[in-house]
Amino acid sequence: MGKASRRKRQTDGAPKAKRAPFVARPFEGLADEADWVAMREILPAATARINVVVPEGLEVDGTPVPAGEREVTLVTVLPGAMPAVHRDNGDVLVAMQSRTSSGDASRDVAQSLLTALVAEPGTSVTSVRPATADTPPDAGPRGRGSAPGGGGAGGLRLLAR
């Protein structure tokens, strides 16, 4: 196959999504920021039960995410480096350490959480699309311009326990 044919084939597809911008402090503004960073980068095994508020209108791959308040367990890592698990009893476990890395750890955790919420109970989330430049900047739990412990208007909101 000649170069001209390869060039044509490479340009025929949909435009490639740009990577999400790098965020040096992905959990900035959250209460106990150092603990969130430790769960993401250092600790071998830890859990944290949190309450999140999912706003109306969020979708994952065209599937609407159930809106409202949910209790979720964040864990350092799940078996097989899975991003999340939606248990039979409805519990949702989301890994802080997983294979997905977009440059913004906060968006990665939020994407895993939302994907787990739309998954059928009793299933494991084996892969999550990484956040892109088109993902709203406040999609993660940190949000933009939010008070400590809260999320932005368009993102998930963490509630104090």
Query: What pLDDT, in 10s, does the model give residues 95-140?
Result: 998 887 788 888 888 889 989 999 999 999 998 887 776 665 555 5
Instruction: Say which residue, 100 or 144, is predicted with more confidence.
Output: 100
Q: Which residues pair with 47 in a beta bridge?
A: 75
Give CA separation, 64 vs 5, 54, 55, 72, 94, in Å: 40, 11, 11, 18, 19
Q: Which residues pair with 141 in a beta bridge?
A: none
Mean local confidence (pLDDT), 73-99: 93
- Domains of the chain: which residue ranges? 28-159
- The pLDDT of residue 151: 39
